[in-house]
Amino acid sequence: MDPNNPSPSGGLKIPKLPDIKIPNLPKITVTRKQALTAAGVAVILVAVAVIGGTILFDYTEDQQVSAFRSHISASEADLFRVYGKISTYMRTSTTDLSVAECDAHVREFAAIARYGRDVTAYHRQIVAADAVPAAYAGAQSAYVRALDNLNRAFTYWLSAAGAYDVRDYSAADRNLAEADKAWREYAAAIADYDRELRAAEEGAEVPPA
């Protein structure tokens, strides 16, 4: 039987497999120059990995404190802008105002309250999102609490202005009393913040609030 032409009948025929020739692999020869090149590449690779890892996992503490500082600074600048408007409002004499002028005066109060509420909410988001070193966590928390209290105080002011608009002066007075309380809590939180900051930067012990 011709192995290349198996007969269609008379049993199973296995075709002949061609001969496979495995070529000889070239022999690897490493020169000194090539070895040094590979080692250099490995060293560079490790260096890049270390630098990338540093970027990947953390900013330095200085960078974090610097960002925290700039955010507190921006917040303080805006808060003092609000305070400038409050001071002007409080200095205005209401002794001889007409009813229309009283209404306009209270609209100004509401505008300041709205501005203060928005400013505190804005900076609260930024400061709360700051990644700070562990030593600064207490100061960050106290400052966020201060902004929260201030935000509440301005919200009560807005409610007082709203109560004035519907001529419910008793409700306006109640809201002002709540706002006064929130302002005092804000002042206490700022005192806490200063204490925590001193502890973080000077290593002083934080006395109980």
Partner 1 sequence: MEWKDVIPVVAGAAVILVVALVVKPALLGEPIGFGSRGTVPVGDPPVYVPSSPVPTPTPIPDDGEVYTRNFRWTAIDGGVQTTEVTVPKALFGEHRKTPRFSDYASWGRYALASSDRPFLEDLARRIAPPAANPDAEYFRLMNLVFFVQQIPYDNDENATSYIEGALPRYAMYKGGGVEYPKYPVETLVDGRGDCEDAAILMAGLLDALGYDTVLLRYSDHMALGIRMGEFNPYYARYTPRYFTYGGQHYYYVEGTDFEWWNVSTNSTAIWGKPRAIGDAAGTGLPSVQSETPQIVPLRYVPEPKEYRISPARLPGNGV
Site for partner 1 in 24-53 (CB under 8 A): 37, 40-41, 44-45, 48-49, 52-53
Task: Tell whether residue 144 is a contact of partner 1 (CB under 8 A).
Answer: no
Instruction: Compute the least distance from the CB of residue 48 to partner 1, in Å.
Output: 4
Instruction: Compute the least distance from the CB of residue 208 to partner 1, in Å.
Output: 20
Q: Which stretch binds partner 1 (CB under 8 A): 3-11, 12-20, 21-29, 162-170?
A: 162-170
* Rounded Cα distance, 73 and 21, in Å: 78
Q: Which of 104, 137, 204, 209 binds partner 1 (CB under 8 A)?
A: 104
Task: Tell whether residue 201 is a contact of partner 1 (CB under 8 A).
Answer: yes
Instruction: Compute the least distance from the CB of residue 56 to partner 1, in Å.
Output: 4
What is the per-residue DSSP string for 74-123? HHHHHHHHHHHHHHHHHHS--TT--HHHHHHHHHHHHHHHHHHHHHHHHH
Task: Tell whether residue 59 is a contact of partner 1 (CB under 8 A).
Answer: yes
Q: Which of 70, 105, 75, 72 is nearest to 91 (CA)?
A: 105
Q: Which two tokens stand for residue 130?
A: 């700051």
Computed over its alpha carbons, how large is the radius of gyration of the chain?
A: 38
Q: Which helix (H) or strand (E) holds 129?
A: helix 99-129
Site string for partner 1, 180-199 (x = CB under 8 A): x--xx-xx--xx-xx--xx-
In the complex with partner 1, which residue's Cβ is closer, 13 or 137? 137
